[in-house]
């Protein structure tokens, strides 16, 4: 095995692993619900309708802030239809404004991210793997100031086992020297386990409900209390220091 093959590779998620994301969507959903309550709809019905519309549309149109905003508008239309009420243009416009608030939100790095990535960049090959709209995700990375720490960046429509296997082949990665790091059991941890690589789970209190599912093989998963604990798992190679 060459030195390159012996170098650990970390495939790292972005949203809610490196920076806050879901909290902004939750704020928009809360604002939508309050507006619907003000229009006379029930709180639980409004929350449920928005969640169901978003879930159905993600499967059809993928991820992205514009589609999120459209989903809220459609949710308002569904509420009106179910109560046999007219759709008001001014309310639709306000819903659209609420949904668009997730576009260009400030990038707030999670604790320990910047310094941990800086330390790991000298010890490991770092690949960023995130899903969603290409321009949106690249903009977030640029605003984060973390881009220079990654060897490669991959933005994909969906993260699954096949995507991870393609990365293994593309970069000639050894499964026993490769780990997926993320906050999502659905898109990070379980696909990594199925692909036969390591899985490092960094739970986030605001992980999106669509990313939550039971971890398939918890005995194979390393769970961290925060991203800052990651560096201790990959100490500096003394042989490289001497070289």
CA distance linking residue 153 with residue 139, whole number of Å:
12
Exposed (0-12), middle (13-18) or buried (19+): which is 54, by Cβ within 10 Å? buried
Does one domain contain both 214 and 153?
yes
pLDDT confidence of residue 242: 35
Determine the structural domain holding residue 205 and report its residue range.
3-19+108-242
Does one domain contain both 144 and 77?
no
pLDDT confidence of residue 28: 97
Exposed (0-12), middle (13-18) or buried (19+): which is 210, by Cβ within 10 Å? middle
Does one domain contain both 12 and 37?
no
Does one domain contain both 147 and 193?
yes
How many separate domains does the chain show?
Answer: 2
CATH number at residue 42: 1.10.150.240
Does one domain contain both 232 and 112?
yes
pLDDT-derived band at 188 (thresholds 50, 70, 90) equals: very high
Convert the pLDDT of each residue in 71-85 to its tens digit. Answer: 999 999 999 999 999
Residue where a domain stops, chosen among 38, 68, 100: 100
Does one domain contain both 197 and 78?
no
pLDDT at residue 101 is higher than 80: yes
Does one domain contain both 89 and 137?
no
Predicted model pTM: 0.91
CA distance linking residue 153 with residue 12, whole number of Å:
10
Does one domain contain both 29 and 79?
yes
CATH number at residue 195: 3.40.50.1000
Mean pLDDT (whole number) for 144-155: 97
Does one domain contain both 94 and 112?
no
Convert the pLDDT of each residue in 4-44 to its tens digit. Answer: 558 999 999 999 999 999 999 999 999 999 999 999 999 99
């Amino acid at each position: 095995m060459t030195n390159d093959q012996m170098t650990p590779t970390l495939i790292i998620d972005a949203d809610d692993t490196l920076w806050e994301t879901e909290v902004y969507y939750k704020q928009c959903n809360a604002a939508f619900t309050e507006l619907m309550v003000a229009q006379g709809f029930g709180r639980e019905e409004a929350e449920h309708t928005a969640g169901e519309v978003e879930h159905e549309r993600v499967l059809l149109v993928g991820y992205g802030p514009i589609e999120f905003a459209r989903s809220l508008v459609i949710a308002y239309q569904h509420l009106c239809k179910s109560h046999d009420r007219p759709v008001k243009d001014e309310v639709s416009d306000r819903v659209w404004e609420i949904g668009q608030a997730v576009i260009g939100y400030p990038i707030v790095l999670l604790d320990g991210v910047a310094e941990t990535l800086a330390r790991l960049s000298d010890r490991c090959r770092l690949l960023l793997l995130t899903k969603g709209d290409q321009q949106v995700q690249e903009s977030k990375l640029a605003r984060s100031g973390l881009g220079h720490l990654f060897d490669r960046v991959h933005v994909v429509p969906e993260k699954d086992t096949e995507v991870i296997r393609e990365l293994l082949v593309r970069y000639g990665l050894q499964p026993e020297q490769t780990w997926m790091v993320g906050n999502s059991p659905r898109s990070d941890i379980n696909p990594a386990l199925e692909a036969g690589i390591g899985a490092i789970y960094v739970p986030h209190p605001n992980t999106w409900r669509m990313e939550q599912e039971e971890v398939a093989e918890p005995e194979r998963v390393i769970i961290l209390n925060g991203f800052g604990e990651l560096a201790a798992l990959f100490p500096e190679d003394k042989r490289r220091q001497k070289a």
